[in-house]
Amino acid sequence: SWSALDSPLVGRSASVLQRMDHRSVSSVTIPPPACMLRPLEVPMRYLFGPGPSNVPPRVLASGSRPIIGHLHPEMYEIMNDIKKGIQYAFQTENNMTISMSGSGHAAMECAVFNVVEPGESVLVAVNGIWGERVAEIAIEKHKPVLFFLTHGESSAGLCHPVDGIGDICRKHNCLFLVDTVASLGAAPIFMDKQKIDILYTGSQKALNAPPGTAPISFNDRACYKMFNRKTKPISYLFDMTHLSNYWGCDGNTVRAYHHTGPVSGFFALRESLAILAEKGLEESWRKHKEVSAYLYKGLEDLGLKLFIPDRDLRLPSVTTIAIPEGYDWREMLGYIMKHHQMEMTGGLGPSIGMVMRIGLMGYNCEKTNADKALHALADALKNCKKSKA
């Protein structure tokens, strides 16, 4: 005999009730973290360290534009703009000019991974100034395929001379790789004229974009070495065979998917390069030189000693001062952060415990900001404990 319980509708209802009952017993054992239920809070600070630096409102606004697909034609157009902006900033006509989806460290690894193969030597300039004669002696002795030099050494506040080294590298069939993360836009660099084979920088210093993108350029010599290797690069993400296609540098009309680039980061990088183009490189270099000279005088008036005695070798974007005698540098920096909402930093690597670093670059490169930094230092010198020794 037929019963209402045999109805298909009743059967489906029972099934739904069973699923609802199953969901009422949650399988989630980790509750939502309390911090994620609070609004995001970010303090306003003066970033007067070696980077990142404060970002102009225009660049911040560009990063909040609507997201578009990383393979959309409009995105390719923006990437093409970025390429042209990098060529201007680097002073190069190199076709193989892109931005890495990552920090300056990513660009450094991209350069090394793509042009150096197992068993080959790399010569790295560490500490001090590499004069032309010393560089040539070292290259003759070690026969490297790559010579690496940091143009703006932010740990010491030093700007390395570059002229002449490119000629030596070409004489000895060695590629010349230069890091301008701390110097681009603040100190003159001419990739083509100075015969630099690979040049890279970061977005977060004098370029004044958020951290996370890193312009890099390879000339024809570097491309020949890079695309005629016997072994594949050790990184797929940094493989220029794929990245050159993604950036439209390999001559192919179709760009294949390689990775999802930081769309908002590229918006911000494009805008920061536009600001540099509008201002002009020479004006940017002049401004950094002027403001750094103003800062030097103010520091000396406070009785502080500049770490690099030769003014011509000082990095305009990051100034290093010797830690004042009798003071605890950590206490001073902590005091400045607490009472002035201002970041300055200690040394890095070999310069830890030797220097304090003040960065006034790009958007922050103003005499009014130098005055703020000097006032904060004077306040710290007055109120921080000084040992009797």
- Please give the structure tokens belonging to residue 362: 């790009």
The half-sphere exposure of 188 on its side-chain side, counting CA atoms within 13 A, is: 13
* CB neighbourhood size of 61 (10 A): 13
Q: Are 189 and 82 in contact (CB under 8 A)?
A: no
Q: Are 150 and 315 in contact (CB under 8 A)?
A: no
Alpha carbon distance 272, 207 (integer Å): 6
Closest CA to 358 of 302, 326, 315, 312: 315
Alpha carbon distance 211, 201 (integer Å): 11
Alpha carbon distance 279, 260 (integer Å): 31
- Please give the structure tokens belonging to residue 35: 């911090």
Q: Are 151 and 141 in contact (CB under 8 A)?
A: no
357 is in an annotated binding site: yes
The half-sphere exposure of 275 on its side-chain side, counting CA atoms within 13 A, is: 21
Alpha carbon distance 307, 288 (integer Å): 18
Name residue 341's amino acid: Q
Q: How far apart are the first and last CA of the chain?
A: 105
Q: Which helix (H) or strand (E) holds 215?
A: strand 214-218
Sign of CA dihedral 79, 101, 155, 343: positive
How many residues in the chain? 389
- 23-31's contacts with Cβ under 8 Å and 24+ in sequence apart are none
Residues making up the binding site for substrate: 357
Binding-site residues: 357
